[in-house]
Amino acid sequence: MLTPDTTPSDNSAARAPGQSAPLLRVNQLVKKFPVKGGLFGKVVDHVHAVSGVSFDLAAGETLGLVGESGCGKSTTGRCVLRLIEPTAGEVWFEGREMGAMNRAELRALCRQMQIVFQDPYASLNPRMTVGSIIAEPLHIHGLASSPSEFDDRVVHLLKTVGLHADHARRYPHEFSGGQRQRIGIARALAVSPRLLVCDEPVSALDVSIQAQVINLLEDLQEQFNLTYLFIAHDLSVVEHISDRVAVMYLGRIVEIAPAQELYSAPKHPYTEALLSAVPIPDPTVTRKRIVLQGDVPNPIHPPSGCHFHPRCPQASERCRNEVPLLREIAPGRQAACHLND
């Protein structure tokens, strides 16, 4: 049953076209964080971080998950990996529902799903050598049996991400931001995962380094048939790496489409506004900038109807009262906007 916390969607919502058995299926995912207050720290309200998110991800595919800060995209990624427990909804991996798994099964599954964090400065333990950081998951999952096997695997992983064997003896502070992100990627690859959740992996890096890391991720995907959930706040970052892009606003997916189609003809006013801020490399082409008024509303008390209506230049009375269905508007494309009815 749908609750006010979920986005109504048809059953084909956010499915990859022509896809029968996805590697990952997220179905009506909900995450609410309690807000405590008063003298006794009682729960007085909830932050509605994720409100009924559904999507599929095929093996070898990259889905870009985009939206402003606080829209719930990182929370979605963390719920998929069970780093935080969802409030409701289902996450299926290779046809098995994670909520029904016991601790041992979940632990085994963790190997298949890894994360690359946003901040390469904060995500590496400064007191450990790079070799120990990369070897840690090998130890945890018992993936090497002798010191020389550990060393060989660490050196191989360093080379795979474009670093050198002697980097294993150094500490994270001796590396640049781009190199640290490569170390984070090597650590994620150590357990031979199938799915990588890349949570804003290039946001903390200089623009000149961002392309190098994205190229590396593309090369690794081809080499290891990896599947990516690529989270970013900037549509320009996900454009080249994504097969499809899902746009999130205030806990809901508002549009999902093959990347090229979404960039050339967005079907949701929020996507249009985000795209209008993306620079076009061709100086002869101009795009009208849409400046959204106001900030993202408070997720403790999200607006009624379409969450985007207080900022939408095309909002009508219906938008204030009726939640738009995330539904198929063309083969392989879904949008949640009354304008598409």
Q: Which is closer to ligand SF4, CB of 165 or CB of 339?
A: 339
Tally of CB atoms within 10 A around 33: 16
Q: Which is closer to ligand SF4, CB of 90 or CB of 272?
A: 272
Give the tokens for residue 329: 């508007």
Smallest gap from residue 313 Cβ to ligand SF4 (A)? 8
Q: Which is closer to ligand SF4, CB of 160 or CB of 304?
A: 304
Tally of CB atoms within 10 A around 203: 14
Q: Which is closer to ligand SF4, CB of 83 or CB of 339?
A: 339
Smallest gap from residue 307 Cβ to ligand SF4 (A)? 8
Tell me which residues touch ligand SF4 (CB under 6 A): 268-269, 306, 308-309, 312, 314-315, 319, 324, 337-339
Q: Residue holding tokens 């650590």? A: 187
Smallest gap from residue 296 Cβ to ligand SF4 (A)? 14
Smallest gap from residue 335 Cβ to ligand SF4 (A)? 9
- DSSP letter string, 53-92: EEEEE-TT-EEEEE-STTSSHHHHHHHHTTSS--SEEEEE
Distance CA 84, CA 91 (A): 13
- By the 10 Å C-beta count (0-12 exposed, 13-18 middle, 19+ buried), 1 is classed as exposed
- Smallest CA-to-CA distance from 116 within 183, 171, 71, 64 is with 183
Using an 8 Å Cβ cutoff, are 76 and 55 in contact?
no
Q: Which is closer to ligand SF4, CB of 183 or CB of 312?
A: 312
